[in-house]
Amino acid sequence: RCFIAACPSGWSTNGVSCFYIDPSRTPDRSTAQQKCLSMGANLPTIKSAGERDFIFNLLKNNPGISNEGVWLGLNRRGSSFYWIDNSYAGYQVWGHGEPNNFGGHENCAQMYKGGGNAGKWNDNHAAAMEQLPLFFVKNPWHTDERADFLLPTVEIKK
């Protein structure tokens, strides 16, 4: 049994994951998330060093993304952080001194592309996050969405 992943045109492919960067600015976090969902995608969730390295490499290879990087699908609840699938963020790679909840209202998070904390994360407030491009992932690592963009599987009987 085997399968072939096919991404929509304009999306990058890695294995069975599809990635798309929308450089337009979004008004707020829930609009950002709605936009992702309308494309059958989501903001990135990162649950291992391998996923983090892969996404960081995509940022580094995309000249349209500034040093400020992209939104992650990561939200503060109290002093803890959770991914948009409601799972507790067990794997975390924060920049130096982060998360600092600066001003007491840093409930979102970004991954920096450049600077001293490149590839690491910063909690930030929604108004600052509005300046970042959106990074969409059709993310079969953590969901069942894979079936939406796989070609049918074919079994060969011997």
Binding site for ligand BGC (CB under 6 A): 98, 100, 102, 106, 122-124, 128
Q: From the list 17, 42, 122, 139, which residue makes contact with Ca ion (rule: CB under 5 A)?
A: 122
Residue 26's binding partner out of ligand BGC, Ca ion, none, with CB under 5 to 8 Å set by partner kind: none
Q: Considering the rule CB under 5 A, would residue 48 count as an interface residue with Ca ion?
A: no
3-state secondary structure of 36: helix
CA–centroid distance for 70 within its chain: 8
Nearer to Ca ion, 67 or 100 (CB): 100
Q: From the list 16, 51, 69, 123, which residue makes contact with Ca ion (rule: CB under 5 A)?
A: 123
Q: Which stretch binds Ca ion (CB under 5 A): 40-48, 97-105, 126-134, 141-149?
A: 97-105
The least CB distance from residue 132 to Ca ion, in Å, is 14
Dihedral (C-alpha) 41, 6, 112, 82: value to the nearest 10 degrees? 40
Residue 82's binding partner out of ligand BGC, Ca ion, none, with CB under 5 to 8 Å set by partner kind: none
Nearer to ligand BGC, 10 or 103 (CB): 103
- Work out whether the CA dihedral 88, 90, 95, 99 comes out positive or negative: positive
Within 10 A of 19 (CB to CB), how many other CB atoms are there? Answer: 20
The closest of 73, 77, 70 to 128, measured between CA atoms, is 70
Nearer to ligand BGC, 118 or 128 (CB): 128
Q: Are 19 and 136 in contact (CB under 8 A)?
A: yes
